[in-house]
A and B are shown apart, each in its own frame.
Chain A
Amino acid sequence: QVYLQQSGAGLLKPSETLSLTCAVFGRPLNDYYWTWIRQSPGKGLLWIGEINHNGYTNYSPSLRGRVTISLDTSTKQFFLRLSAVTAADTAMYYCATFDKATYYMDFWGQGSQVTVSS
């Protein structure tokens, strides 16, 4: 059974750095890509970026420069960092498995609500 467990801070002030963790259960990190997605209030989904076990990363052009995705194969976790947050980064953030061969996300974390407010 594949299961993704998210953790991380929920309330940030502008200019701070968002940090989220996604722990992977039931699927080896080596065989898949891993991705972060967010949903801002009243808006649709936005793909944030991806990483594979070799450390290859790719980011959404709209967030490139502020976003870093990393992973730790020893603990089977991957991470999201988003620097210099503003109110526009307030969103529900999801981690998910990403089939890089056919570009779909089949298992999702439970979601982490992040609010940016002064």
Chain B
Amino acid sequence: QSALTQPPSASGSPGQSVTISCTGTDNDIGGFNYVSWYQHHPDKVPRLIIYEVYQRPSGVPDRFSGSKSGSTASLTVSGLQPEDEADYYCCSYAGANNFGVLFGGGTKLTVL
């Protein structure tokens, strides 16, 4: 199965909001509410920031929010802060054909 599709880059100024999309198919994003998002700073460990489409783990600021429409999931970062500059990856359950999970190609978020 192909990876999920994310834009390679996104940007915004401090205080602004940015939305990153993640497009899949009916076999993954469109079929299940098991979308997660990960923040990855260079030379650090990936960090879970959203699970089950919109749920936030404890400790993740509410500036991060998730949503889904059809086969496209979205991550919105509101009130951008310099430390939000990182790579962001979406992930989805890939269905009952034992494909496990699929990741997106990643989006580099730049805070201008």
Given the known interface contacts A43-B105, A44-B89, the answer about A110 and B51 at a Cβ–Cβ threshold of 8 Å is no
B10 interface contact, C-beta 8 A? no
A46 contacts partner chain B, Cβ-Cβ < 8 Å:
yes
Number of interface residues of B (CB under 8 A): 26
Q: Does A46 lie within 8 Å of B36, measured CB to CB? A: no
One of A8-16, A19-27, A74-82, A99-107 contacting the partner = A99-107
Interface bits B13-33 vs A (CB < 8 Å: 1, else 0): 000000000000000000010
Residue B64 interfacial (CB < 8 Å): no
Determine the chain A residues whose CB is within 8 A of the CB of B99 once the complex forms.
60-61
Q: Are B100 and A49 in contact (CB under 8 A)?
A: yes
Residues in B whose Cβ lies below 8 Å from that of A50: 100
- The answer to whether A110 touches B103 (Cβ under 8 A) is no
**Is A47 touching B45 in the complex (CB atoms < 8 A)?**
no
B1 touches A61 (CB 8 A): yes
Decide: B89 and A103 in contact? CB cutoff 8 A. no
The reply to whether A104 and B104 form a contact with Cβ atoms under 8 Å apart is no
Q: How many A-B residue pairs have CB under 8 A?
A: 63
Q: Please report the C-alpha to C-alpha distance between residue A59 and residue B101 in the assembled complex, in whole angstroms.
A: 10
A49 to B100, CA, bound (A): 7
Contacts of B98 in A (CB 8 A): 58
Q: Is the interface of A mostly helix, strand, loop or mixed?
A: strand
Q: Is the CB of A102 within 8 A of B51?
A: yes
Q: Note all chain A residues with C-beta closer than 8 A to B3.
A: 44
| A110 cross-chain contacts in B, Cβ below 8 A | 45
Q: Are A109 and B45 in contact (CB under 8 A)?
A: yes
- A102-B34, A108-B45 given; A45·B100 CB < 8 A: no
The reply to whether the CB of B61 lies closer than 8 angstroms to some CB of chain A is no
Task: Confirm or deny: A34 has a beta carbon within 8 angstroms of a beta carbon on chain B.
Answer: no
One of B32, B45, B57, B106 near A45 (C-beta < 8 A): B106
A binding-site residues for B, Cβ under 8 Å: 35, 37, 43-47, 49-50, 58-61, 94, 99, 102-106, 108-111
Additional 5 contacts, C-beta under 8 A, given A35-B100, A104-B91, A108-B47: A47-B100, A58-B98, A94-B45, A105-B46, A111-B45
